[in-house]
Structures are given as C-alpha cells and as structure tokens.
Amino acid sequence: MATELPRFTLPLPVETFLQRHWQRRTLFMPAAARGLDYPDADTLAGLALEAEVESRLIRGAGDGPWSLQQGPLEEDAFEGLGEQDWTLLVQSVDHFLTPVSLLLDDFGFVPGWRLEDIMISYAAEGGSVGPHFDQYDVFLIQASGHRHWRIGPHCDDATPQRTDTPLKMLAHMPCEQEFHAGPGDVLYLPPGVAHHGVASDSDCVTWSVGFRAPDYRDLLAEMVAECLANQPEQLYGDAGRAPCPAPGRLEQNDLDNLLSASLGLLDRAQAARAVARWLSTPRQNGLDFIVDEEQIRAGAPDAVLVRHGGVRLLRQGDHAWLNGECWTLDAEQTALVDLLAGQRRYRNDQLEPLLTRSARELLNHWIDQGFFAPL
C-alpha cells in the first residue's frame, strides 16, 4: 500500500505561471510531482472492467493500423496484447479512487469548478494515442516509466485530421519541442497545442489532470431549460395593432416584440442556478466506490475527514451546490461549506471552530449520504 499521497508543486510563483503560461504557453516541470505509486496497472485494469467506468483500449503505432475498444472491458481483453504498442486509458479515476482525487488540492490556483477529472493511462513500450490536440488545459504527470513527448503548433477544428483511424488524430504534426518525461515530471499544455506522447518503456503510467472549459452553447441550453421548466404557456398577441401595409413582410416592430417577449423569459437568477447546477455536476457518478480510508490515514495521519472523490461542491452566495443539488445555507453553515469546498481532506483543528449546531447537522447529513468519510 502506498503511504505517500499524490502531490504536485508548481516550480515557479503562481502569479508567474498564470501570467506567462496558463492558456498561453507550454511548460515542462521536472520532478514537480510525487506520491504517484497508486493506482498500479492491475488496479487500472480492474476499473476498466466496471460498467460505471469510462475506459478505452487502444492498439497501434505510427501509420497504423490503429484499433479502439471502448469499455467496459472483459477480462480476456488483456490477453494476447503483447509487450508493445498498446495503451489503456481510464477516465475520471479521481471520481472512483478518492486517494487519487487528493492531488487536485494542489491545483487551487484556479477555481475548483474549472477542474474536470484525472484520467490515467497505462502503456506498454511504444503505446500512444497518436498526435492530437485537446480543447482544454491539461497537466500530464509521469507516474512511472518514461514517455517521449513531441510538441507541435496550435491547432483548431480546421486542422487536417486523419480519416483512416477510429481516433481523433492529426494528419501531420510538425515538431516544435521535445521532452523526455520520467517519474515525477509534469508537462503543462494549453488548449489547442498539438502533442504526441509515446511510451519509451513498459509500465508507463501517466496521469492527465484535465480542466473543465464550459461550452457557452451548453450553458445557454441549461439556462433556457431552467427558465422554461415552470413557465406557463405564453402566446403571442397583437390586439389593437395598426393595419398591415404588406402581408408578406416581417416588420421590424413585430420582430422586436417577438424577440423581447421571448428573451424576457430568461430570468437571470434562474439562469445562474442552471450554471451552478451544471458546474457542480461531476463528469461521472463514482459514489458507489468506497473510500480507501486506511490508505488516506497512512498518507495524512492528521486528517479526520475526507471528501469522496466523486463529489463536486461549490458555494454560491447562501447556497451550496453538491453534485448538482442545491442546499440553502444559514449564516452558521457558510464558513464550513467554504472549508469543505476549498479542499478535500480536513484536520480536526480546521473543522471544530466551524461546527456550530446547524453546521454539524449539515455535515452529519452529508456524511450519512456518503459525500464525506470520517477517518
């Protein structure tokens, strides 16, 4: 059992990183992470068998052929893979394995709602997912083995893609930078930067901390659905209108009336609720997976409480949003919720000053629901 919990440390001031690199420029950070022994390959393979877990098994290298098998996988999927040119990807491992989620506390230099999940890959020598780009910020953390990274230019949806593979793979990727990552090395990539990582040896495990970048179209759809959910039917009316000069035209005043009445249904407060609900909903439901309390106690002996890795918690004004559900807070509960939302493990000296009667009742209820686990 691993005794050290995962940690990441920026090797430069936070302000410098945010100004120079965040969403702008690649940064390679040697030996910036530690405590990455768990999960091992067998644990990842076991997760890939679970119906609740999103996983992929990719085989191929170079020009191919490439194959993609979506999970959940069967046990025999790992038979006959050989010792080269395959990769197992397991998504949202932090949602299922709470010790993994504790790494996310070290990314508190951006708001918690910006964090998406931690994907972990296991690759045999030569294993890769091909040259590609992501639409979000990502920290690629080498846990074991070695991976060779080639970094290309910035890409967008117009960048040519290969059409002969089941993967989103660039047709051509000129190399602008190269890095060879070993255990503990971290590579930060802004959105859109082309990259191609290839396992240099066996037992190559890479953690991928991905960030949530809401699509404004999705947010607008959520807002509209929230605002219209309890709205009664409201039909257009034009009593007292002037005679129509040209029946084939859509006159500007009619158009303005239609737009004003329709957009008037979008209530800002209800739209804000929709956004908070969306941002507090985890990528996958991992609450059925128990918390490994023994491992967390071994790595953090002063902790008395831990947040389940499958929980997303935000405070917005006098409301707490926990996994998409809204809780109205009283004045005595807000300080506790700020603590619970701002980190993932808690010491007694942090909790006790905040546990008023109503705050304790709220916390006990969340513990009973499995959102938090005493240690």
134-148 pLDDT tens trace: 999 999 999 999 999
Joined tokens for residue 184: 């503990």
Per-residue pLDDT at 3: 77
CA–CA distance, 81 with 59 (Å, rounded to integer):
8
DSSP codes joined into one string, 30-97: TT-EE----S-HHHHHHHHTSTTS-EEEEE--TT---EEEESSPPGGGGTT--SBSEEEEES-HHHH-
Q: Tell me which H or E stretch contains 359.
A: helix 357-368
Q: Regarding the domain delimited by 7-211, which CATH topology (the fold level of the hierarchy) does it fall under? A: Jelly Rolls (2.60.120)
* DSSP structural state of residue 329: P
CA–CA distance, 204 with 83 (Å, rounded to integer):
12
* Confidence check: pLDDT of 94 > 90: yes
* DSSP structural state of residue 113: G
Instruction: Determine contact, residues 56/89, Cβ cutoff 8 Å.
Output: yes
Give the model's confidence band at 1: pLDDT under 50 very low, under 70 low, under 90 confident, else very high.
low
Q: pLDDT digit string (tens) for 219-255?
A: 999 999 999 998 999 999 999 999 999 999 999 999 9
b/e 366-375 (16+ beta carbons within 10 angstroms → b): beeeebbbeb
Joined tokens for residue 230: 């309890």
**Coil/strand/helix, residue 116:** strand
CA–CA distance, 195 with 174 (Å, rounded to integer):
10
Give the count of beta carbons closer than 10 Å to the beta carbon of residue 346.
23
CATH architecture of 302-374: 3-Layer(aba) Sandwich (3.40)
Provide the residue ranges of all domains of the chain, joining segments of one domain with +.
Answer: 7-211, 216-280, 302-374
CA–CA distance, 150 with 347 (Å, rounded to integer):
42
56-59-65 Cα angle (round to 5): 130
Per-residue pLDDT at 2: 66
Q: pLDDT digit string (tens) for 267-298?
A: 999 999 999 999 999 999 999 999 999 999 99
pTM: 0.94
Joined tokens for residue 122: 């296991």
Q: Which of 215, 337, 222 shows the shortest CA–CA distance to 275? A: 222
CA–CA distance, 134 with 191 (Å, rounded to integer):
6
* Confidence check: pLDDT of 80 > 90: no
Angle, in degrees to the nearest 10, between helices 357-368 and 334-342: 40
> Between 2 and 354, where is the model more confident?
354
Average pLDDT, the chain: 96
Mapping DSSP onto H, E and C, the string for 119-130 reads EEEEECECCCCC
Can you give the C-alpha Rg of the chain in angstroms?
Answer: 24
Longest CA–CA separation in the chain, Å: 82
Per-residue pLDDT at 194: 98
Instruction: Determine contact, residues 94/118, Cβ cutoff 8 Å.
Output: yes
Joined tokens for residue 156: 């967008």
